[in-house]
Amino acid sequence: MTQKLFLLLVFLSSPNSFATADSPVVQGLGGAHRAGVAKESLFSNPASVAMLDTSSAFLIYTKPRIKDWDAGGRGWSVGAYDGQNPVVKGGFGYVRSARATITTGGQQGYEDRSEFRTTLGKAITPSIAVGLQGRYVTKRIGPTESKFLQGDIGTIFPVFAGLRGGVTYENILFKEEELPPTLGGGLVYAFGSGITIMADGYHLMKGQRKGDRGWAAGGEISLAADFVLRAGRFQEGVRRLKGWSAGLSWNGPRASLDYSMKTTGSGPKERDHIFGLNLLF
């Protein structure tokens, strides 16, 4: 089997042929999110929504592409977070994506996917939070349509001064041809002076790739008062692809703009761009 055919089979066996990160900050950090990215709780550890102290709305646009196969797609997400509820904080979003797929016979198909996501989180002590996310998924490939429920749970906790940890159990309901149940953990450490680093590890719990592991690491640094620069490195647990990411954010008093790019380091090279807008209210 040639290397190219092997990579094609890996591509086809993956439930997501493109990036698993659907949001710009998470992708800019290489996908490291299990210790919590509060402003993107719908795409992160669900317990991180409990860390919010403001309410906001967001719009995200995603553009993935694999140039070697002339394959691509697009996606967008819209939603809102309530970070001011004194009892339980939460978020709700709608995620839509459409992308090309390639069959073993070399034929291109098309997958259309939509998700309604709801995340709830609560601080059970001043420093420990728990959360859960539910997703209602509609997936269409050609004339075939399937609908199903999926969900994640997570917790965030302090390790010691400046170091925060998080644990997630993702994709609780096992379903063939979807990402398998995954146990993950992450750490985030703030050095001060606007420098923060994050690292994740995760373990696939079921399915054909049971036992496989993945990791992600990233960092960010504040530039001046309003800009944040990010970079990350990762290895995916399902496809075993390694790659790099980078991102930039502008944070204003009532709005923020986020951008990130991810690329894999081996052929077929994948390059994904994500743009995000957040409005505080």
Q: Which two tokens stand for residue 154?
A: 């997570």
Rounded CA separation 152/133 (Å) = 5
Rounded CA separation 264/101 (Å) = 18
What pLDDT score was predicted for residue 3? 38
CA distances 97 to 32, 43, 108, 164, Å, are 22, 14, 16, 32
Banded pLDDT at 11 (limits 50, 70, 90): very low
**Model pTM?**
0.88
Rounded CA separation 192/181 (Å) = 35
Number of domains the chain contains: 1
User: Mean pLDDT, to the nearest integer, of 163-190?
Assistant: 94
Nearest residue to 93 (alpha-carbon basis) of 50, 147, 133, 123: 133
The string of pLDDT tens digits covering residues 110-146 is 789 999 999 999 999 999 999 999 999 999 987 889 9
CA distances 217 to 28, 40, 196, 205, Å, are 10, 17, 11, 21
Question: For residue 74, what are the β-bridge partners?
Answer: 98
Rounded CA separation 56/52 (Å) = 10
Residue range(s) defining the domain that contains residue 42: 3-280
| Residue in this structure with the two tokens 């994948």, named with its chain if needed | 270
Q: Cα–Cα–Cα angle for 1, 69, 103, nearest 5°?
A: 65
Question: Which CATH number do you get for residue 50?
Answer: 2.40.160.60
275 pLDDT above the threshold of 90: yes
Banded pLDDT at 18 (limits 50, 70, 90): very low
Q: Where do the H-state alpha helices sit in 1-75? A: 3-13, 24-28
What pLDDT score was predicted for residue 110? 74
Rounded CA separation 109/144 (Å) = 12
In DSSP notation, 219-237 reads: EEEEETTTEEEEEEEEE-T
Inter-residue contact 45 to 131 (CB < 8 Å): yes
What pLDDT score was predicted for residue 178? 87
Rounded CA separation 156/172 (Å) = 18
219 pLDDT above the threshold of 50: yes
| Residue in this structure with the two tokens 């089979």, named with its chain if needed | 9
